[in-house]
Amino acid sequence: MNEGESVVARRRRVAGWVRDQAGSDLVVLPELWTTGAFAYEEFGSEAEPLEGPTYEAMAEAASDAGVWLHAGSVPERDPDGSLYNTSLVFSPSGALAAAYRKIHRFGFDKGEAVLMGAGDELVTVRLPHTVLGVATCYDLRFPELFRGLVDAGAETLVVPAGWPERRRSHWTLLAQARAVENQAFVLACGTAGTHAGVPQAGHSIVVDPWGEVLAEAGPGEQVLTVDFDPTTVAGTRERFPALKDRVLGLDRPRR
Ligand SMILES: NC(=O)CCC(=O)C(=O)O
pLDDT digits (tens, 9 = 90+) for 196-215: 999 999 999 999 999 999 99
**250 band by pLDDT with thresholds 50, 70 and 90:** confident
CA distances from 124 to 39, 47, 61, 160, 216 (A): 28, 24, 22, 14, 24
Does the pLDDT of residue 218 top 70, yes or no?
yes
**Cα separation, 235 vs 62, whole angstroms:** 31
| 0.95 surpassed by pTM | yes
Does the pLDDT of residue 191 top 70, yes or no?
yes
In a domain, residue 254? The reply is no
**Phi and psi (nearest 5°) for 120?**
-140, 20
In a domain, residue 57? The reply is yes
In a domain, residue 136? The reply is yes
The answer, yes or no, to whether any atom of ligand 1 lies below 6 A from the CB of 171, is no
- Give me the interface pTM, i.e. the ipTM: 0.99
Does the pLDDT of residue 254 top 80, yes or no?
no
pLDDT value of position 196: 92
Q: Which atom of ligand 1 is nearest to the CA of 102?
A: 3
In a domain, residue 51? The reply is yes
Query: What residue owns the CA closest to ligand 1's atom 9?
Result: 138
CA distances from 122 to 145, 149, 247 (A): 8, 7, 21
Q: In what order do the strands lie in the sheet with 68-77?
A: 26-28, 68-77, 83-90, 96-101
In a domain, residue 2? The reply is no
Average pLDDT over residues 163-183: 98
The answer, yes or no, to whether any atom of ligand 1 lies below 6 A from the CB of 43, is no
Does the pLDDT of residue 23 top 90, yes or no?
yes
Distance 162 CA to ligand 1 centre (A): 7
Domain range for 99 = 7-245
Query: What residue owns the CA closest to ligand 1's atom 1?
Result: 162
Q: Which residue has the higher pLDDT, 38 or 252?
A: 38
Which of 167, 168, 169, 171 gets mutated to test ligand 1 (max ligand atoms within 8 A of its CB)? 167
- The domain total for the chain is 1
**221 band by pLDDT with thresholds 50, 70 and 90:** very high
Does the pLDDT of residue 255 top 70, yes or no?
no
Q: Which atom of ligand 1 is nearest to the CA of 104?
A: 3
Q: Which atom of ligand 1 is nearest to the CA of 136?
A: 3
**97 band by pLDDT with thresholds 50, 70 and 90:** very high
Average pLDDT, the chain: 96
Residues forming beta bridges with residue 77, ordered by sequence position: 83
The answer, yes or no, to whether any atom of ligand 1 lies below 6 A from the CB of 65, is no
Average pLDDT over residues 50-58: 98
The answer, yes or no, to whether any atom of ligand 1 lies below 6 A from the CB of 166, is no
pLDDT value of position 1: 61
The answer, yes or no, to whether any atom of ligand 1 lies below 6 A from the CB of 37, is yes
Pairing of strands 198-199, 194-195: antiparallel
Does the pLDDT of residue 156 top 80, yes or no?
yes
Question: By percentage, how much of the chain surpasses pLDDT 90?
Answer: 95
In a domain, residue 1? The reply is no
Distance 167 CA to ligand 1 centre (A): 8
The dihedral sign for the CA sequence 51, 52, 53, 55: negative
pLDDT value of position 135: 98
Average pLDDT over residues 27-47: 95
Tell me the one-letter amino acid at 85.
N
The answer, yes or no, to whether any atom of ligand 1 lies below 6 A from the CB of 162, is yes
List Cβ neighbours of 214 (8 Å cut-off, separation of 6 or more).
Answer: 206, 207, 208, 226, 228
In a domain, residue 182? The reply is yes
- We report the CATH number of the domain holding residue 123 as 3.60.110.10
pLDDT value of position 2: 65
In a domain, residue 69? The reply is yes
Average pLDDT over residues 79-99: 98
